[in-house]
Chain A
Amino acid sequence: MEAPRSHEVTGLLRAWSAGDEEALRKLTPLVYRELHRAARHYMAGERPSHTLQATGLINEVYLRLIDVGRMDWQNRAHFFAVCAQLMRRILTDFARSRRYQKRGGGVAHMPLDEALVVGSQPDRELVELDDALKRLMLVDERKSRVVELRFFGGLDVKETAEVLKVSPETVMRDWKLAKVWLVRELSGGERRGA
């Protein structure tokens, strides 16, 4: 599919946030293109330089997705919030389908320790995290949004605070507790086979 041009992206994002699933279908290849670009860096063995922080990486992605000059969003915050949701959706869908392919591809039960260097783990964790985040939303909505914005949206503390209209200190406190809550949620004593 022809990737939409960057000036169309804002429109698509807006349409998607208004509930248009078709817009998501058009946005997905764009994000994939960026993912592949980043993946190629890793494949070439380029270690991210010290100047390129993780949040920098994703901001760069946003910049390429959207023509900032034409950005007519009422505020940056809304844009970031929608981007974070978009990333969450696309990235967990990717993880889910990758898991499905792995299982469908004859790897019936891949033991954890047979996982490769970056093995089958992260995709599984992404899917589980997405589910756990839905549960966190029922307990404490703001904390689940902090995680969505920071982890899926790649925003830093300040940007997250801006979106949520709270202080950066509050974001940090929420972030810490949310991580602990999620780790506990994901660890719930697994027993093999039982």
Chain B
Amino acid sequence: MEPERWARVEELWHASLQVASGERAAFLKEACRDDEELRREVESLLAHEKSAVDFIEAPAFEVVARLMAHDKVDRSETDRLLIGKTIAHFRVLEKLGAGGMGEVYRARDVRLDRIVAIKVLPRGELANEEAQRRFQREARLISKLSHPHICTIYDVGSEGGLQFIVMEYLEGETLASRLARGPLPFAQILQHGIEIADALEKAHRAGIIHRDLKPGNIMLTKAGAKLLDFGLARIARPEPAATMSAIAGQPTVESAVTGTGSIIGTLQYMAPEQLEGRETDARTDIFAFGSVLYEMATGQRAFQGKSQASMIAAILSSEPTPLLQLSPLSPPALDRLVRTCLAKDPDQRLQNVHDIRVQLEWTRDAASQAGLPPVTVGRRITRERVAWASAAVLLCAFAVTLGLLVLQPHSQPQGRVMVAIDPPQGYKMGNLESGGPIALSPDGAQVAYAAHDSKGTVSLWVRSLDSLSPRRLEGSESSTEIYGFVWSPDSKGVIANPGGKLVKLSAVGGANVTLCDSFDGLPSSVNDEGTVLACSPSWWSRPSPLQDERPPGKMN
């Protein structure tokens, strides 16, 4: 940028700060006149003003010293001291991982002779005795939460200055590591969503807010989802959470590069009110739950940013990419639910988890009536499963579930999309008696399938993957069953044999093209040049099909 121009940007930026925020737009419009670029530049700087408030307020030296402290505690000290040792009556066996509040180890309770997980807080995590007492008190309160989808806390204690929590040992993987492999199938999203909602509901009724709900705190086990670390975020640091505004008042403490420093919990899933240091309540968990549902459906975080500062800006001011855009075949009800959970203003969200659970159950029931396959828990997602889901398509009379291995052209991780395709209103899926196939267009954007109405008329339908309503292909109505239909190589039409004719039915609203007037065969494949291979069912029962061979139809 030219120095004069930059000087002008600077001048306008400072001047805008003197103007009330509601009048800035008008002020800039006036000041920049026709210079749109100048106005945009100043406005984009103004947009980041709030998130820059605490940015780099703590010196780099301190940030690095804290990093070093963290590395030391993390790697050497605790591990070296603990593994093989006994804390109270727990023999520490191995490290399982590290979470927001300390390291987690697998341990044996030597008194009860059972395996437990033990979470050890880093030394100095609790500043003084009062904080330690509060920690113990509140952890006991949480240990009273007994729910099949909440990881049970057995005990809390301290020994030799180490604070620890003993809890149920869970086998499985965290939702976070599961999500690293891509989005979850729709049925699992609902199942786990309902389990999580049920757990949250129980806790909220007991007056306990999680405050750090995120995929890393959800374990997927054989018995379903289990929530970890309930309410611990609050206990560990009872002072107003790690928020920008809270920290602004404590210049030297907790500040990392962005000034947010030793963050409790995870920024990505924090609600706007948490980040702004305002009061949090059950609706704070609802926001985080919305983010988790979003991520389960899309495989992407609802809010993204390169740095903590930009992450905070995203949560406070931007809307996530619409769920249906990333996962077009998700049920609209889920999209709506997630959006309502992610409202910036807590008053605009769904107000309690009970309502969310009911909506999720309703969505699940609607789906299962439509013939979604039952959920199998804890089963690895494999190609066989996809094939199994595809096989279900053929058997299912009302709806089909389509498993697609979507190969994205760019560097996106490979993911699997699981979609439910409902029959058009007033129709049932497939042919009258024998079901019917479903075909994906060569460009991967549409699916074609047969459906029949109550009068027994079969027709072909096409649904674009980014829309929710199917379209009937004009001219596809047939009083007999429609089987082998194939997509034309350009994805613009479907070749089928309704009413005894071989026709290329336009899927883009154009005219149909009759390829062969009298035809009782099944189109079974088409090559890039448009040559259609079709076969007559009568061949199947005859020993010498060549006698009866019809010339293959050539597309125009």
Interface residue ranges, A against B (CB under 8 Å):
34-36, 38-48, 52-55, 57-58, 61, 87-88, 91, 94-95, 98, 109, 111-118, 121-126, 128-129, 139-140, 147, 150-154, 173, 176-177, 179-184, 186-194
Contacts and interface: CB of A to CB of B under 8 A. Distances in A.
Contacts of B262: 117-118
Given A39-B72, A184-B48, A186-B310, 13 more contacts: A39-B68, A43-B77, A57-B61, A58-B62, A61-B61, A122-B257, A150-B56, A180-B45, A183-B307, A183-B309, A187-B310, A192-B304, A194-B410
Interface stretch (B83-91, B117-125, B396-404, B472-480): B117-125
B266 A113 contact: yes
Interchain residue pairs A-B with the least CB separation, the first 4: A45-B124, A187-B310, A38-B65, A42-B69
24 contacts: A38-B61, A38-B68, A39-B69, A40-B69, A41-B69, A42-B65, A42-B66, A42-B124, A43-B69, A45-B125, A88-B60, A94-B64, A112-B266, A112-B311, A116-B74, A117-B122, A122-B64, A139-B1, A153-B59, A173-B14, A180-B48, A180-B52, A184-B47, A194-B411
B62 to A, nearest CB: 6
Interface stretch (B196-204, B248-256, B495-503, B524-532): B248-256
Interface in B167-184: 176, 180
B64 A91 contact: yes
Given A121-B256, A179-B55, A183-B48, A192 B62 contact: no
B313 interface: yes
B130 to A, nearest CB: 14
A112 B123 contact: no
B470 interface: no
Contacts of A118: 66-67, 70, 256, 261-263
Given A180-B52, A186-B307, A192-B301, A111 B176 contact: yes
Interface of B: 1, 6, 10, 13-14, 44-49, 51-52, 55-56, 58-74, 77, 98-101, 122-125, 127, 176, 180, 214-216, 251-253, 255-258, 261-263, 266-269, 300-301, 304-311, 313, 410-413
Contacts of B56: 129, 147, 150-151, 179, 182
A40 B63 CA distance: 13
Contact of B307 (A42, A47, A125): A125
Q: Max chain A CB contacts within 10 Å: which of B257, B258, B263?
A: B257
Contact of B252 (A57, A126, A150): A57
A45 B411 contact: no
B266 A126 contact: no
A126 B304 CA distance: 19
Q: Max chain B CB contacts within 10 Å: which of A39, A94, A109, A129?
A: A39
B67 A122 contact: yes
Contact of A57 (B46, B62, B263, B413): B62
A186 B306 contact: yes
B306 A190 contact: yes
A126 B216 contact: no
A60 to B, nearest CB: 10
A34 B65 CA distance: 9
Contacts of B69: 38-43
A48 B58 CA distance: 13
Contacts of B60: 87-88, 91, 126, 151-152, 154
B49 A180 contact: yes
Nearest to A140: B6
Contacts of A179: 52, 55-56
A186 B309 contact: yes
Contacts of A154: 59-61
B253 A139 contact: no
Contacts of B257: 121-122, 125-126, 129
A69 to B, nearest CB: 24
A98 B52 CA distance: 25
A43 B72 contact: yes
A167 B193 CA distance: 58
Contacts of B66: 39, 42, 118, 122
B13 A177 contact: yes
B62 A54 contact: yes
A48 B412 CA distance: 45
Contacts of B301: 192
Given A126-B64, A129-B56, A194-B412, A121 B308 contact: yes
Nearest to A46: B124
A123 to B, nearest CB: 6
Contacts of B70: 116-118
